[in-house]
Amino acid sequence: MNAGVYLDHCATSPLRPEARAAMAAAFDVTGNPSSVHASGRAARALLEEARARVAILAGAPSAAVTFTSGGTEANVLAIRSAVAAGARRLLISAIEHDCVREAALASGVETVEVPVRPEGIIDLGALQALLDAPSAAGGPVFLALMAANNETGVIQPTREAAERVRAAGGWLHVDAVQAAGRTPVELDVLGADSLALSAHKLGGPQGIGALVAAARTRIVRDIPGGGQEHGRRAGTQNLIGAAGFGAAVEAALASPRPGPGARDAAAAAVAAAGAVVVGAAAPRLDDVLCIAIRDLPSEIQVMGLDLSGVQVSAGAACSSGKVRPSRVLEAMGLGDLAGCAIRLSGGWSTRPEDWRIAAETWIDLKTRRQSRRHPAAA
Ligand code: PLP
């Protein structure tokens, strides 16, 4: 048993010390950011400092940043804004997070899933065909395409998609919740008109995120009430959360990225022991590894690793705890293997040896399970 390896940063990252310190300091700021007195102005200054940091991450002016309760609300707000702008058909990639899919399906507007190729990348040919076939309902085109997938780490060609969507006069929304802090997520780098971010995936606190929108993109006023967030989202802001978010973003931007070496070595070790590395043929985030092995259900792997001190996820982060085959992996054509996949994801606090320990622990678990099933062969 090892001292404990946490490879579940895609579910949530540990709080960075910088974020903790910023939040502790923010507890002593009493004012409401909307109040005009000195305490209110101090709170406003703190909020705007955090907003400016998030804006740098997104390569946008501060005014483009709307704080939300997290990535989920940011994605939902983008979809509702597209519908309010007249979109009568929502295109979403087949591997979007549940919050995107559910919001689109609940919108009352025709929703079409754009398939992905077996390696997990959106099928740009299929996207083009959908863009070329005008919707009977009319209205501007909207596409939701995530920057990197939360289960496989596969990076999506958002720029290429953006060119096609823009040529059709449309709006590309990018869920950058997993990519932020791992790869550049500036609006123009991604080609995005709007961007969803979440603090807790990059070492900030849970319960705060942002929707960042280019000037040409109008965000609808979804929550009625006061005029906070440029009138786009009512309700007194989560000042402590924003302070932690801003500090986490700043720390993430300042930290060197370790590269894929340790992850790749772990991938090679488990592949040699029989694992399928999902999305291996595609560009992926450096510290995400999705593996599958026949006849070893995801939950057995997750529980077995946990008993040995290695914490990972099965399927999507937000559906951890529920046992159902991954929709993303099914969309990639993995069939039965989709129920036998796990995700290991590192982040700012991960040490190279965590990957080695995780791989060794997985190989040990797999060998023990197989020898139990086939005692004679062991
Ligand atoms: N989008 C992606 C790709 C995610 O992985 C997640 C969470 O796992 C979300 C959105 C939701 O973010 P939040 O937990 O901040 O609501």
Give, using CA atoms, the residue closest to atom 13 of ligand 1: 71
Mean pLDDT of 209-214: 97
Residue 320 confidence class, pLDDT cut points 50, 70, 90: very low
Residue 364 alpha carbon to ligand 1 centre in Å? 32
For a pLDDT cut of 70, what percent of the chain falls above it?
94
Same fold, 5-14+257-373 and 17-254: no
120-149 residue pLDDT tens: 999 999 999 999 886 656 778 999 999 999
* CATH of the structural domain 5-14+257-373, one choice from 3.90.1150.10, 3.30.565.10, 3.60.15.10, 3.40.710.10: 3.90.1150.10
* pLDDT tens digits, 185-205: 999 999 999 999 999 999 999
Q: What is the 3-state secondary structure (H, E, C) of the chain?
A: CCCCEECECCCCCCCCHHHHHHHHHHCCCCCCCCCCCHHHHHHHHHHHHHHHHHHHHHCCCHHHEEEECCHHHHHHHHHHHHHHCCCCEEEEECCCCHHHHHHHHHCCCEEEEECECCCCCECHHHHHHHHHCCCCCCCCEEEECCCECCCCCEECCHHHHHHHHHHCCCEEEEECCCCECCECCCHHHHCCCEEEEEHHHCCCCCCCEEEEECCCCCCCCCCCCCCCHHHCCCCCCCHHHHHHHHHHHHHHHHCCCCCCHHHHHHHHHHHHCCCEECCCCCCECCCEEEEECCCCCHHHHHHHHHHCCEECECCCHHHCCCCCCCHHHHHCCCHHHHHHEEEEECCCCCCHHHHHHHHHHHHHHHHHHHHHHCHHHC
Give 98-128 pLDDT, tens digit per residue.
999 999 999 999 999 999 999 999 999 999 9
Higher pLDDT, 373 or 265: 265
Per-residue confidence (pLDDT) for residue 135, from 0 to 100: 64
Which of the four pLDDT bands, split at 50, 70 and 90, describes residue 33? very high
Among 201, 285, 322, which is best to mutate for testing ligand 1, by the most ligand atoms less than 8 A from CB? Answer: 201
Q: Which atom of ligand 1 is nearest the CA belonging to 12?
A: 8
Cβ–ligand 1 contact at 150 (below 6 Å): yes
Token code pair at residue 57? 């991450």
Mean per-residue pLDDT, 286-308: 96
Task: Ligand 1, residue 73: give the atom nearest the CA.
Answer: 16
Residues acting as catalytic residues: 318
Region 174-178 average pLDDT:
98
Say if ligand 1 is within 6 A of residue 325 CB. Answer: no
Q: How far is the CA of 362 from the centre of ligand 1 (A)?
A: 26
pTM score of the predicted model: 0.95
- From the CA of 199, how far away is ligand 1's center (Å)? 10
Of 85-89, 156-160, 350-354, minimum mean pLDDT range: 85-89
| pLDDT surpassing 80 at residue 316 | no
Q: What number does the ligand 1 atom closest to the CA of 146 have?
A: 3
Q: Whose Cα sits closest to atom 12 in ligand 1?
A: 71
pLDDT tops 70 at residue 74:
yes
* 243-260 per-position pLDDT tens digit: 999 999 999 999 988 899
Q: What's the fold here for domain 17-254? A: Aspartate Aminotransferase; domain 2 (3.40.640)
Could you tell me the residue ranges of all domains in the chain?
5-14+257-373, 17-254
For the cut 50, the answer to whether the pLDDT of residue 302 exceeds it is: yes
pLDDT confidence of residue 137: 63
Q: If you average pLDDT over every residue of the chain, what do you get?
A: 93
CA 177 to ligand 1 center in whole angstroms: 6
